[in-house]
Amino acid sequence: MAKRSLKDLRILITGASEGIGRALALQCAAKGARVMAAARKLEKLQTLAQESAQYPYPITITQADVSTPEGRAALLEAVQSRFGGLDILVNNAGIGATGHFADSKPETFRQIIETNVFGTIETTRLFLPMLEKGKTPAVVNVSSILGRRAIPGRSLYCTSKFAIEGWTQAIRAEFVRFGIDVILINPGLTQTSFSQNMLERNAKMQLDHMRGMTSDQVAKAIIKAMETGKKVVSLTFRGKALLFAARFLPFLVDRISKKKVKELYAEEIAARQAKANS
């Protein structure tokens, strides 16, 4: 993994209109990077660009949806025309849903996969030729602690992030031939509007995102990884504790998860048992 200065590097950040992506775009611009911020929400991107006016390179914005081939192609054209190449690709765009699998909709799962998995993978595929020619190039995949250990009520989202975990592990070795670093960031609970923007919010077990890290703190951790070349970063004390328990005490994590579900669905379970015994 290469150490790098972000000054003058050309960086594309997807999902940059709010949350982690927004904070990262501003912090990279403050370090003298040439940043293109991409997202679906044009008004928020325009506000972001205005806030970056004082930096050496004001942030360039592009409205694009990475879940569609047309959106990804437009993004490629924008980077080529404005930057003439790319040094770092940050795959940050993502959507989620909460709720138990038995109650979920297949179209919701497809939307999540189209953005979180195909959007990430196919955006990287398109930009690979540019990155090969870049300066200290890197692909940064913003995944999740839930891409390392799944929990009840988040099955669809966890599935998408597990896919990114596996794909990242594979391309980290494969991209050595191109001289491209591959960095994986696993945020835990983060104070963003992500939970408000979910496709479905049906989980009985709620998580308090306001108790998590701020977007600025996560962005600082991402920049540190890019600068030092650290390949995997997992964030928050609770997130790291979950991963530790999942690695060394997986049976305990399973037991706690099952106990919680039994508590949440106690009436339904009791009614089913009563019916079976009648």
Which residues are part of the catalytic machinery? Answer: 157
Could you tell me the two tokens for 187? 């945020």
Distance (Å) of CA 25 to CA 1, 176, 219, 278? 22, 26, 9, 61
Decide the pairing of beta strands 34-39 and 138-142: unpaired
Gap between the Cα atoms of 9 and 22, Å rounded = 18
User: Phi first, then psi: what are they for 139, rounded to 5°?
Assistant: -110, 125
Give the torsion through C-alpha atoms of 220, 168, 92, 205, to 10 deg.
Answer: -90
Pick the closest to residue 209 from 223, 221, 222, 192 (CA basis).
Answer: 192
Length of the chain in residues, anyone? Answer: 278
